Amino acid sequence: MLLGAIGDDFTGSGDLGNTLARAGMRVVQYCGVPTGPSDPSVEAGIVSLKSRTIPPDEAVTQSLAALEWLLAQGCQQIVFKYCSTFDSTPEGNIGPVITALADRLNAEHVIVCPSFPGAGRTVYQGHLFVVDQLLSESGMKDHPLTPMTDPDIRRCLARQTDLPVGHLPHSVVRRGADAIKTAIGEKQGRQLIIVDATTEEDLYQIGYASADLPLITGGSGIAMGLPHNFRHAGVLGEDETRWQGSKGPCVILSGSCSQMTRQQVATHIETHPGLFINIDDVLDGKTTPQTVSDWLLAQEGTPIVYSTTDPQTILAVQERHGRSRAASAIENLFAAVAVDVVAKGVTRLITAGGETSGAVIEALAPETLEIGPEIAAGVPALKAGPLTIALKSGNFGEAGFFEIAAEKLGGS
């Protein structure tokens, strides 16, 4: 294993896997920290955690355990993948995890760059943009778990770490890899460096400049240039595709309330069966995993079960039941439904939402997910034995994503 990565959620880990696989690396996503050694043919291993919104000390412990496993597999460089919208709270978990990984790796300068232009996220003057809006004016201001209200990620990160937070402006980045490398080297003392990046070319140049850094952090875009570094060093094998689709029944579970998912759900239910999950009914026991799973298995086509709704409805639900009780009720329901439908023959599973996908994958507990072809920017097709899976981050994909994903998982 050449490159080791730690992802703070399951969809984001797949996003990173997609970037690396597209550049010709053989990538496997591990669900949690594996207990045994990796298959020796794996060139990039991603340990996916569900650590984005857990208490910071637990996120640090899990991330350090993942790091030890990756180092034991021989990884020469580590990537910490978090969300391209920098999803975090004032306490963490991005800052505490980077700080702990940097300490363990004795990393002097650590790049922090959530930029992912393919999904409209760019960093300029230390500020994070979602398409043409500041992060704090985008849909992320209403996120159910990590509302993002400060677009200046230098300030966001400084609230989460005791390490100094520096900045590498776009005026340097656009001069290319050598200029970036020199500017990083000139930074005095140990620090985390927010690096501006507005285009994919910026990200390639940052990647090339990072060949010797032990730890790199960011969205999936930060990994764009890294496979080239290994190829340039002559250590990357030949690109060969092993992934295959499966033709069996397909179901969709959506707990994401992001703007794009809302559009995708609305599009899908125009032509496919859909069942809305009301959290009050889940907490009252009127809706159970069994009722939902029975409904799914009785449908034709590609049915969707969704709790996806608008910010006002979420707020009202959270006021009635509490934020984490509402979230857990939905996540546990989807997790149990997934286990049941897969046991009963579903071979294509699509989930929407990072937390939702994490709950589902933790319950299904596949040891590994082989990264396959891209479905949409940041979303690869995955495979665990006979089961093919698509884990969609909240704001990824076009309006017709679910239908496209179902076809891709089928091997078309």
Ligand X SMILES: O=C(O)[C@@H](O)C(=O)CO
- Residue list 379-398, contact with ligand X (CB under 6 A): 393
* C-alpha span between 359 and 342 (Å, rounded): 15
Choose between 156 and 327: whose C-beta lies nearer to ligand ATP.
327
Residue 257 within binding range of ligand ATP, rule CB under 6 A: yes
**Smallest distance from the beta carbon of 156 to ligand ATP, in angstroms?**
16
Residue 229 within binding range of ligand ATP, rule CB under 6 A: no
H/E element, 154: helix 153-158
**Smallest distance from the beta carbon of 8 to ligand X, in angstroms?**
7
- Residue list 102-161, contact with ligand X (CB under 6 A): 116, 119
**Smallest distance from the beta carbon of 143 to ligand ATP, in angstroms?**
6
Q: Closest residue to ligand X, Cβ-based? A: 12
- Give the closest residue to 267 by CA, choosing from 136, 152, 403: 403
| Sole binder of ligand ATP in the list 95, 96, 144, 166 (CB under 6 A) | 144
Residue 370, beta-bridge partner list: 28, 383
Partner that binds at residue 116, options ligand ATP, ligand X, none, CB closer than 5 to 8 Å by kind:
ligand X
The phi and psi torsions of 159 (rounded to 5 degrees) equal: -70, -15
Contacts of 115 (CB under 8 A, 6+ apart): 84, 121, 122, 123, 196, 197, 198, 202, 203, 218, 219, 221, 222
Partner that binds at residue 258, options ligand ATP, ligand X, none, CB closer than 5 to 8 Å by kind:
ligand ATP
Please report which residue ranges of 163-310 form alpha helices under DSSP H. Answer: 170-173, 177-186, 200-209, 226-232, 259-271, 279-284, 289-297
Residue 378 within binding range of ligand X, rule CB under 6 A: yes
Choose between 15 and 403: whose C-beta lies nearer to ligand X.
15
Residue 80, beta-bridge partner list: 6, 217
**Smallest distance from the beta carbon of 324 to ligand ATP, in angstroms?**
8
Residue 287 within binding range of ligand ATP, rule CB under 6 A: no
**Distance, C-alpha 209 to centroid of its chain:** 24
| Sole binder of ligand ATP in the list 15, 196, 331, 340 (CB under 6 A) | 331
Contacts of 96 (CB under 8 A, 6+ apart): 56, 57, 59, 60, 160, 161
Choose between 261 and 347: whose C-beta lies nearer to ligand ATP.
261
**Smallest distance from the beta carbon of 127 to ligand X, in angstroms?**
17
- Residue list 88-117, contact with ligand ATP (CB under 6 A): none
Residue at token pair 């078309």? 412
Residue 255 within binding range of ligand ATP, rule CB under 6 A: yes
Cα dihedral: 227, 229, 230, 231 (round 10) = 80
In the complex, the residues that contact ligand X under the rule CB under 6 A are 9, 11-12, 15, 83-85, 116, 119, 219-220, 354, 378, 393
